């Protein structure tokens, strides 16, 4: 119930204006977002790298409706990759991108061309790109784009969502040598026809998918904050004899930073998903939705208004 409230709040432009202009908002957003500019993203990436953490940077874009917006997003990524290289942050820093931000809903072919340009910039910078997973109506198109990009850029990462019923099959298909696959629970609200609805069923699917990826030939990227699933991830890495560099854990910036440090200290590769950009409001609401205790944060924002 609270989760749906915050997911609805993520789409409310009135609440967006209220939260964005409230004095305490920036401080709260800073917990989950590097900042609004690439400069800030580079600064935070440097700090994480100094703590022994790898990074995947996400330029926050809520809704790309025009070709001009899509071109701006492409250019931002290309420029960011150049700056990561010149700052010596690659290969530990890579980028994550959403095909919708590159115009997938307006012109699929154009979005692929943009993704290709970003992969080429990543290759030039000595790093990689991971294609974020979005709602289930885009899964086939995103996986097709992935396979096309991998023809030229084999290190392009895929994301599979354990809550989708199809995902075990996708894990099998993508468990090939060198295939980088991020496994997460799935952030989108999906119908029962395509997705498991109970938390228990999603967790069970996550473990089945994890077993396929860890026993396969690819490079699993275990993206969760769930203590039980992280423990199972650690166990499977041992069981399938994977050494450091043959899998990684991924967590969101600002979420369970102590766990990020613990995993890194234990010798695991840990990558932090680091969002930045001016359109941080929707992302912040979705993070708070995952943690109902976040209700207090929004109350603080609203009562801080003069
Ligand atoms: C690196 C990364 C990349 C992702 N990429 C995608 C993607 O491309 N597509 C997609 O659909 N989804 C993506 N997700 C989101 C994912 O699908 C889940 O919605 C999200 O991670 C919450 O699920 P969870 O596995 O952490 O488990 P949950 O069941 O949500 O949380 C388990 C436990 O983690 C802790 N926790 C969770 N959230 C918070 C928080 N905000 N603050 C403090 N503690 C918290 C709590 O202890 C909680 O009980 C990504 C997640 C990560 C970590």
pLDDT tens, position by position, for the chain (306 residues)? 556 666 666 666 666 666 666 655 667 778 899 998 999 999 999 999 999 999 999 999 977 999 999 999 999 999 999 999 999 999 999 999 999 999 999 999 999 999 999 999 999 999 999 999 999 999 999 999 999 999 999 999 999 999 999 999 999 999 999 999 999 999 999 999 999 999 999 999 999 999 999 999 999 999 999 999 999 999 999 999 999 999 999 999 999 999 999 999 999 999 999 999 988 888 887 787 777 665 555 555 545 443
- Is 182 an annotated catalytic residue? yes
| Residue 222, helix vs strand vs coil | strand
Residue 86: predicted pLDDT: 97
Q: Verify whether ligand 1 is closer than 6 Å to residue 221 (CB atom).
A: no
How many other CB atoms sit within 10 Å of the CB of residue 17? 11
Q: Is the CB of 286 under 6 A from ligand 1?
A: no
Residue 29, pLDDT score? 79
257 lines ligand 1 (CB under 6 A): no
Predicted local distance difference test score (pLDDT) of residue 305: 42
The DSSP result for 103-165, as a single string, is TTTT-HHHHHHHHHHHHHHHHHHT--EEE----GGGHHHHHHHHHHHHHH-TT-BEEEETTBT
Check residue 287 and give its pLDDT. Answer: 80
Among 132, 236, 271, 287, the one annotated catalytic: 132
- Ligand 1 centroid distance, CA of 224 (Å): 5
State the pLDDT at residue 79: 98
Q: What are phi and psi of 170, to 5 degrees?
A: -65, -35
Per-residue confidence (pLDDT) for residue 185, from 0 to 100 = 98
* pLDDT at res. 17: 62
Distance between CA 136 and CA 188 in Å, rounded? 8
Give the pLDDT of residue 281.
Answer: 82
- What is the CA(225)–ligand 1 centre distance, in A? 6
> Is residue 8 a contact partner of residue 289, using CB atoms and an 8 Å limit?
no
Q: Give residue 306's pLDDT.
A: 36
Q: Whose CA is nearest to atom 30 of ligand 1?
A: 290
Q: Which two tokens stand for residue 274?
A: 């680091």
């Amino acid at each position: 119930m609270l989760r749906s409230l915050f997911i609805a709040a993520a789409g409310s432009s009135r609440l967006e204006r209220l939260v964005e202009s409230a004095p305490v908002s920036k401080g709260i957003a800073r917990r989950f977002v590097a900042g609004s500019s690439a400069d800030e993203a580079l600064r935070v990436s440097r700090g994480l790298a100094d703590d022994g953490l790898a990074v995947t940077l996400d330029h926050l874009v809520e809704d790309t409706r025009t070709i001009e917006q899509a071109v701006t997003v492409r250019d931002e990524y290309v420029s960011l990759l150049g700056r990561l290289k010149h700052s010596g942050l690659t290969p530990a820093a890579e980028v994550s991108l959403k095909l919708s931000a590159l115009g997938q809903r307006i012109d699929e072919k154009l979005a692929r061309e943009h993704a290709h340009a970003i992969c080429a910039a990543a290759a030039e910078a000595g790093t990689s790109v991971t294609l974020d997973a979005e709602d289930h109506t885009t899964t086939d198109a995103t996986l097709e784009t992935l396979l096309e990009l991998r023809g030229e850029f084999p290190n392009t990462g895929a994301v599979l969502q354990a809550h989708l019923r199809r995902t075990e099959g996708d894990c099998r298909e993508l468990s090939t040598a060198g295939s980088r696959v991020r496994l997460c629970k799935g952030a989108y609200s999906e119908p029962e026809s395509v997705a498991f609805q109970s938390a228990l069923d999603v967790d069970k699917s996550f473990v089945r998918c994890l077993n396929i990826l860890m026993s396969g030939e690819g490079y699993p990227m275990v993206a969760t904050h769930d203590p039980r699933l992280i423990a199972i991830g650690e166990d499977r890495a041992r069981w399938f004899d994977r050494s450091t560099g043959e899998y990684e854990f991924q967590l969101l910036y600002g979420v369970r930073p102590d766990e990020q440090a613990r995993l890194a200290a234990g010798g695991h590769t840990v990558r932090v998903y680091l969002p930045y950009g001016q359109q941080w409001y929707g992302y912040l609401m979705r993070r708070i939705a995952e943690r109902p205790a976040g209700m207090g944060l929004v109350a603080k924002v609203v009562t801080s208004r003069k």
